[in-house]
Amino acid sequence: MKLKDQIKHRRKYNKYSIQNNYVIGYINGKEFYCDLEDYSQIKEYCWYIDNNGYLSSRINNKLVRMHRFIMNFPNEHVDHINHNKLDNRKSNLRLCDQQQNSANSNISKNNTSGYIGVTWSKKANKWMSQIKVNSKVIYLGIYYSVDDAVKARLEAEAKYYGEFAPQRNLFKQYNIDTNGG
């Protein structure tokens, strides 16, 4: 057996199960997802979860992230719509710029309100709402109720972030107009 074939034979691969129209892969007890049409490409590599939570592999001696590999955008920003970095189905991926990618972020681990951009102000003894746009924090006000602070934040998300609003799932509940009117 040639050295190249011996190395390939020893290479680790992920395990997969095929569903109707997508594939579930497994890494250390965690599941990841991709479309069935991408399976033939990704199965050739051993994917792992990197320090930032993305699926990565070494391809031709380069670090490659699965979401960029699947979308064929190696140097572009690709957003995970549902915030799940292990869900690399095309219906969950979209091309974006850095600001849009940052806008569609998860809630911070030290958040106590349960809403992005809404915090309790000990000084004012009220709820404060803010949003970050173009690396600048915009103060949205201070409110007696958490719902009023959340509504202000959601209105700002609709205005500044549009479809990349991280809490767009709350727009209907808070009657947020997404048509710009």
- The amino acid at residue 142 is I
- Whole-prediction pTM value? 0.79
pLDDT tens digits, 1-28: 454 544 444 557 899 999 989 999 999 9
Q: Where are the CATH 3.30.730 domain residues in the chain?
A: 107-170
Reported as a single tens digit per residue, the pLDDT across 38-70 is 999 999 999 999 999 999 999 999 999 999 999
d(CA 177, CA 26): 40
86's CB contacts (< 8 A; 6+ apart) are: 30, 31, 32, 33, 49, 53, 55
Provide the CA 13 distance to its chain's centre, in angstroms: 25
Q: What is the mean pLDDT of the chain?
A: 91
Paired residues of 34 in beta bridges: 23, 88
Residue 116 confidence (pLDDT): 95
In the chain, where does the domain assigned CATH 3.90.75 lie?
A: 3-96
Q: Is the CATH number 3.90.75 carried by domain 3-96?
A: yes
3-class DSSP state of 132: strand
Q: Which CATH class is domain 107-170?
A: alpha beta
Digit-coded pLDDT (tens) for 70-117: 999 988 999 999 999 999 999 999 999 998 988 888 888 888 899 999
Which residues neighbour 60 within 8 Å (Cβ) at sequence distance 6 or greater?
A: none
